[in-house]
């Protein structure tokens, strides 16, 4: 009977293809829009993703998320170092400065200032140059995408990417490019520049409190949350484990921006359209085949057998549509992965998308099952 159910399904090619297209569209839209949403949310804490070496982030207690920066006095670093359970603590600068390019254009930058002595907080991967080159006079390291896009140098024969040795002017200070790095794409599209902490303070507008963050490594066996609570109790500063600070940052964007609403609307629209198209087409398919279901009943098939046949048909097209939709979404994300396209496809998202398509299939099957269960076997002998 299962083979007969599949033959019935594929016998009407037009309706078969229409159902699969509807479910493919639903799966594609749900997977892609949710994947883009997750990708954007992941970019809000991209700096923390690149600095997994730090167990705890310490900051002003009023900070609400990663880019909500309030300076602290440098002396707070020594207070944090003195807390029991801290293996090491280093300063970390993060802020926005403006650069003047060779041709006179201005470009805003995200500046990362890392510890002069240890260089902890540097980029996760160097493409050219060496991290130790930051100790040279006026040295900076630029992220590769920013160097080839917004910081290109205009010359007579056209634009070219930044090269090692090129000069930028950052807040009226000379900066020499000594290397290029690969970083996790940030929420903003501004280029990312690394320099030493002391140089970042020199280049930034002078304020009484210049230290945005302190990166802390816990001693072996020390619980990160307990140590964060201890730092907060002793110093009065805000202290979060890396995981908690990520959640705090994402929570801020979820609560205070329209990003979830926009992408949630698109994903919901895909679900509703997929349900409407697949449901209507599958119901029409069932109506066209009522005479066959009546024949099966007349031959002794139980309602349970007919129910299994309809569910098999619904989940067969559902599995095909889900595979095609998720595959297309994955392919788009893979092709555009090196640009500004934000897309993250964890296995949990695939499970959620499969569950959504399964829910559509159950709804589609329920509509048709009701019609078949009420069918009288004698209808096959009428007319």
What tens digit of pLDDT does each residue of 21-43 get?
A: 888 888 888 888 889 889 889 99
Position 383 pLDDT exceeds 60? no
Give the bridge partners for 74, in sequence order.
none
Q: How far apart are CA 300 and CA 310, in angstroms?
A: 17
Q: How far apart are CA 83 and CA 236, in angstroms?
A: 12
Position 111 pLDDT exceeds 60? yes
Determine if the pTM surpasses 0.85.
Answer: no
Give the mean model confidence (pLDDT) for residues 99-106: 87
pLDDT band at 132 (very low <50, low <70, confident <90, very high): very high
pLDDT for 65:
93
pLDDT band at 379 (very low <50, low <70, confident <90, very high): low
311 vs 239, higher pLDDT: 239
Residue 12: Cβ-neighbour burial (10 angstroms; 0-12, 13-18, 19+): middle
Q: What's the per-residue H, E or C state across 142-200?
A: EEHHHHHCCCCEEECCEEECCCCCCEEEECCEEEEEEEEEECCCCCCCCCEEEEEHHHH
Give the mean model confidence (pLDDT) for residues 249-253: 93
Question: Which residues have a Cβ under 8 Å from the Cβ of 215 and sit 6 or more positions away?
Answer: 51, 53, 54, 56, 57, 58, 89, 90, 91, 92, 120, 121
Position 346 pLDDT exceeds 70? yes
The mean predicted confidence, pLDDT, of the chain is: 88
Q: How far apart are CA 266 and CA 248, in angstroms?
A: 25
């Amino acid at each position: 009977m299962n083979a007969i159910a599949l033959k019935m399904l594929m016998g009407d090619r037009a309706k078969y293809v229409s159902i699969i297209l509807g479910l493919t569209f639903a799966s594609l839209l749900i997977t892609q829009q949710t994947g883009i949403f997750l990708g954007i949310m992941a970019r809000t804490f991209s700096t923390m993703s690149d600095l997994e070496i730090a167990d705890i982030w310490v900051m002003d207690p009023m900070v609400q998320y990663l880019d909500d920066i309030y300076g602290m006095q440098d002396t707070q670093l020594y207070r944090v170092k003195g807390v029991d359970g801290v293996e090491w603590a280093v300063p970390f600068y993060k802020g926005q400065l403006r650069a003047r390019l060779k041709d006179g254009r201005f470009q805003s930058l995200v500046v990362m200032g890392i510890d002069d002595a240890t260089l902890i907080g540097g980029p996760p991967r160097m493409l050219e140059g060496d991290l130790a080159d930051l100790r040279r006079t006026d040295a900076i390291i630029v992220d590769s995408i920013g160097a080839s896009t917004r910081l290109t140098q205009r010359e007579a024969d056209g634009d070219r990417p930044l090269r090692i040795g090129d000069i930028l002017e950052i807040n009226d200070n000379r900066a020499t490019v000594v290397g290029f790095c690969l970083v996790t794409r940030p929420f903003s599209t501004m280029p990312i520049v690394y320099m030493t902490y002391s140089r970042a303070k020199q280049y930034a507008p002078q304020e009484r409190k210049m230290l945005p963050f302190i990166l802390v490594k816990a001693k072996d066996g020390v619980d990160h949350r307990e140590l964060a609570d201890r730092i907060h109790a002793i110093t009065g500063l805000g202290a979060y484990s890396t995981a908690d600070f990520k959640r705090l940052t994402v929570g801020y964007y979820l609560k205070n921006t329209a990003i979830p609403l926009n992408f949630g609307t698109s994903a919901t629209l895909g679900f509703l359209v997929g349900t409407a198209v697949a449901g209507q087409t599958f119901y029409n398919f069932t109506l066209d085949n009522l005479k066959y279901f009546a024949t099966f009943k007349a031959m002794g098939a139980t309602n349970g057998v007919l129910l299994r046949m309809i569910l098999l048909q619904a989940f067969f097209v559902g599995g095909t549509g889900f595979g095609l939709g998720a595959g297309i979404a994955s392919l788009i994300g893979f092709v555009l992965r090196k640009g500004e396209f934000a897309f993250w496809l964890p296995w949990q998202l695939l499970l959620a998308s499969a569950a959504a398509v399964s829910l559509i299939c159950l709804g589609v099957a329920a509509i048709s099952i009701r019609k078949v269960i009420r069918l009288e076997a004698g209808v096959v002998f009428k007319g």
